Amino acid sequence: MGENRRLAAVVALAQGMAAAHTPRESWRAAALGACRALEGNFAALSVWERERGRLRVLVNVGERAPGEEEFPEDETYPVHQFPEIAEFLHERWASGGEPDAWVETAGGPAAGDPGYCHQRVAALRRRGRGCCVVAPVVQHGRAWGELYVARAAGAPLFARADADFATVLAAVVAAGLAQTERLEEARRLAFTDSLTGLANRRAVDVRLDKAIERHREEGIAVSLVVCDLNGLKKVNDTLGHAVGDRLLERFGSVLSLCGAMVPGALVARLGGDEFCLLAVGPSADEVVKAADELCRRAAELELGEGVACGVASTDDAVGPVRSARRLFRLADAAQYRAKALRADRPVVAGREGPEDPVVRLADEPSPDPGAPAERRRFRGRRP
């Protein structure tokens, strides 16, 4: 391959990884780009899990052999079965040597350092491949994993120049992976409450908008639990905000535990003393059961005064729910009624007959039609 073609291949690899939006897309772009650049017919990207002493395959692309999945759940290889991995991961890299790639062939050693790995040779033969090039992926001066590209039996063998080029490609992959990790961390922080580790209001809004769209198109049930942690202000005023923060964290753990009762539920802190649980798919009764358990467990916390909990679901008699805003208003009104009644169980919108007071309250016109549907909308009203 000429220099211009190799340069173009490197650029294509970098651009493919830069365009990825998720780690999986980034892994796939890395393996595909390297496979094309080295004119292989198969490629894989693996991560070294130090604590388990193994390489875990993240993605397989190209002409996969039977049993090779694109994104395998648990395809792993113990490092002790691959002596050359141990040398490259421990001795050469740790001593400051260059993380050079090497070549293995189905017939035994080829280019680069002497081949050690009978396991790799056997795997090449078993899968109908003639040779492979293995390039270490290094991040922050430490081994991260490996890039593996193979050619079919009968194709030209990889040469030393291919191994050198694979080393360059692995460095490009390492840079792309680092960028993906930074983006993922930024996304995580954008959608996570820093104190409790739960999702935040932004995450709920995004998920709820999509859920309501599915409800409109497919009729899928969408349920929302809004809860207000009672007594937080008193704890803050008498025991200090550090203790109040511990109460919020403890309640967040309880909410997470109860949310696990509902498959696929999202639990979140909306802000201050307000939390919510969003469920898409499970029945309203399943969600109410989890909310009931939440009320019971919250009442048993050493601090605070339990929780006021409201539930609204498209499964119940609340009328058409065509927007996320209306479901939030219904859950908000139910939570307000629970707080006003000092209820120790959740109040559920639409379950008090044709003149359900929660539905009526939620559907009252706002005093300010242009105002957004913010939390605490019903505070200060009479029950």
- Cα separations (Å) of 89 from 135, 169, 186? 11, 18, 30
Q: How far apart are CA 158 and CA 131, in angstroms?
A: 7
Q: In what order do the strands lie in the sheet with 129-139?
A: 76-78, 54-62, 42-49, 142-152, 129-139, 102-105, 108-109
The reported pLDDT for the residue numbered 374 is: 44
What the block records as the tokens of 104 is 């293995």
Helices (H) and strands (E) in the chain, counts: 12, 12
Burial 32-49 (b: 16+ CB within 10 A, else e): bbbbbbbebbbbbbbbbe
Which ranges of 341-370 would DSSP assign to H, the alpha helix?
357-362
Dihedral angle over CA of 244, 248, 251, 257, nearest 10:
-150
The reported pLDDT for the residue numbered 112 is: 43
The reported pLDDT for the residue numbered 90 is: 52
Give the predicted TM-score (pTM) of the model. 0.58
How confident is the prediction along the chain (383 residues), in pLDDT tens digits per residue? 667 888 899 999 999 999 988 889 999 999 999 999 999 999 999 998 877 778 899 999 999 999 899 999 889 887 766 656 555 555 454 444 556 888 889 887 544 444 445 677 888 999 999 999 999 898 877 778 899 999 999 999 999 999 999 999 999 999 999 888 887 777 777 888 888 888 899 999 999 999 999 999 999 999 999 999 988 889 988 999 999 999 999 999 999 989 989 988 999 999 899 999 999 999 999 999 999 999 999 998 888 889 999 999 999 989 899 999 999 999 999 999 999 999 989 999 988 877 788 998 888 876 554 444 444 454 444 33
The reported pLDDT for the residue numbered 367 is: 55
Q: Which residue, among 256, 240, 239, has the nearest Cα to 193 in the 3D structure? A: 256
The reported pLDDT for the residue numbered 91 is: 47
The reported pLDDT for the residue numbered 159 is: 93
Please, are residues 170 and 135 in contact by the beta-carbon 8 Å criterion? Answer: yes
